[in-house]
Amino acid sequence: MADWQIDLIKVVFIWVWALLIAVVMTWVERRASAMMQDRLGPNRAGPFGLLQPLADGIKLFTKEDIIPERARKILFILGPPLFALPAFSAYAVVPFGDKIVLGGKEIILQVSDVNIGFLYVLALGAIGVYGMVIGGWASNSKYSILGGLRATAQLISYEVPMGLALLTIVLLYGTFSLREIVLQQQGTFLGFLPNWGFFKQPLGFIIFMVAAYAEANRVPFDLPECESELVTGYHTEYGSMRLGLYLFGEYVNMGTLAAITVSLFFGGWGLPYVDMSRFLGPVSYGIASFFVFFLKQAFFLFLFVWVRWTVPRFRYDQLMGLGWKALIPLGLINLFITALLVQLTT
Amino acid sequence: MAKQLETICITTGPVEVGDYVTLNIGPIHPAMHGTLRVITKTDGETIVSAKPEIGYLHRGVEKLGENLTYSQFLPITDRLNYCSAICNNVAYEMAVEKLLGLQVPPKAQLIRMIMMELARIADHQVCVGILGVDLGALTPFFYLIIQREEIYEIFEWHHGARLTNSMGAIGGVEADLPERFHEKWPKLRDTIRKANDETDKLLTHNRIWMDRTIGVNAFCADDALNWGFTGPMLRACGVKRDLRKEEPYLMYDEVNFEIPTGKHGDVFDRYMVRMLEMEESVKIIDQAYALYKELPEDAPLMKKVPKIIKPPEGQIYHAIESPNGELGFFIKSDGSDKPYRIKIRPPCYMVYQAFEDLVKGEMISDLIACLSSLNVIAGELDR
Domain ranges of chain B: 7-53, 61-382
CA angle centred on A199, ends A122 and A86, rounded to 5°: 15
- Whether B45 and A316 lie within 8 Å, measured CB to CB: yes
CA angle centred on B342, ends B341 and B346, rounded to 5°: 150
Q: Is the dihedral of CA A93, A97, A98, A104 positive or negative?
A: negative
* H runs (alpha helix) in chain B: 61-66, 74-78, 85-100, 106-134, 139-159, 179-203, 207-213, 221-227, 231-236, 243-246, 267-294, 347-353, 355-359, 364-374, 378-382
- Whether B364 and A311 lie within 8 Å, measured CB to CB: no
Question: Chain B: nearest CA to A140, how far in angstroms?
Answer: 6
**Nearest-CB residue to A311 (from B137, B142, B143):** B137
pLDDT, tens only, B107-133: 888 999 999 999 999 999 999 998 888
Q: Using a CB–CB cutoff of 8 Å, tell me whether B8 touches chain A.
A: no
Residue A275, pLDDT > 80, answer no
| Confidence (pLDDT) at A53 | 86
| Confidence (pLDDT) at B18 | 58
Q: Distance between CA atoms of B383 and B374, rounded to whole angstroms?
A: 17
Q: Is the dihedral of CA B68, B73, B75, B78 positive or negative?
A: positive
Select from B28, B359, B365 the residue whose CB has the most chain A CBs within 10 Å, as the one to mutate to test that interface. B365
| Confidence (pLDDT) at B330 | 92
Return all residues near B184 (Cβ < 8 A) that are at least 6 apart.
Answer: B150, B153, B154
A80: enclosing H helix or E strand: helix A73-90
Percent of chain B with pLDDT over 70: 95
- Please give the CATH superfamily to which domain B61-382 belongs: Cytochrome-c3 Hydrogenase, chain B (1.10.645.10)
What are the φ/ψ torsions at residue A322 (nearest 5 degrees)?
A: -60, -40
Q: Distance between CA atoms of B188 and B281, rounded to whole angstroms?
A: 13
Least confident window among A167-176, A236-245, A265-274: A265-274
Contact of B243 with B320, CB cutoff 8 Å: yes
Select from B22, B139, B206, B212 the residue whose CB has the most chain A CBs within 10 Å, as the one to mutate to test that interface. B139
Contact of B382 with B42, CB cutoff 8 Å: no
Give the chain B residue whose CA is nearest to the CA of A314: B208
- Whether B45 and A317 lie within 8 Å, measured CB to CB: yes
Q: Distance between CA atoms of B231 and B351, rounded to whole angstroms?
A: 10
Neighbours of A186 (CB within 10 A): 18
Select from A145, A235, A237, A311 the residue whose CB has the most chain B CBs within 10 Å, as the one to mutate to test that interface. A311
Q: Distance between CA atoms of A144 and B253, rounded to whole angstroms?
A: 54
Question: Chain A: nearest CA to B32, how far in angstroms?
Answer: 9
Q: Give B196-201 contacts, CB < 8 A, sequence gap 24+.
A: B196/B144, B196/B275, B196/B278, B196/B279, B198/B140, B198/B143, B199/B128, B199/B129, B199/B132, B199/B140, B199/B143, B199/B144, B199/B275, B200/B275
A97 vs A298, higher pLDDT: A298
Residue A334, pLDDT > 60, answer yes
Q: Distance between CA atoms of A290 and A10, rounded to whole angstroms?
A: 13
Give the chain B residue whose CA is nearest to the CA of A74: B11
Burial A199-233 (b: 16+ CB within 10 A, else e): bbbebbbebbbbbbbbbbbbbbbbbbbbbbbbbbb
The closest alpha carbon to A55, from A26, A34, A33, A88, belongs to A26
First CA to last CA distance, chain A: 43
| Confidence (pLDDT) at B10 | 37
| Confidence (pLDDT) at B121 | 92
- Could you check whether the bond before residue B346 is cis, i.e. omega within 30 degrees of 0? no
Mean pLDDT of B298-312: 83
pLDDT, tens only, B142-184: 999 999 998 999 999 988 888 888 888 888 888 888 888 888 8
Residue B7, pLDDT > 60, answer no
The closest alpha carbon to A106, from A282, A269, A314, A237, belongs to A282
Query: What beta strand segments (E) does chain A contain?
Result: 99-102, 105-108, 188-189, 193-194
pLDDT, tens only, B228-284: 888 888 888 888 888 888 888 888 888 888 888 888 888 888 899 999 999 999 999
Cα separations in angstroms, B231 against A241, B290, B379, B381: 48, 26, 18, 15
Contact of B291 with B107, CB cutoff 8 Å: no
Q: Strands B21-25 and A193-194, how do they pair?
A: unpaired
Looking at residue B228, its amino acid is G
A201: enclosing H helix or E strand: none
- Whether B11 and A138 lie within 8 Å, measured CB to CB: yes
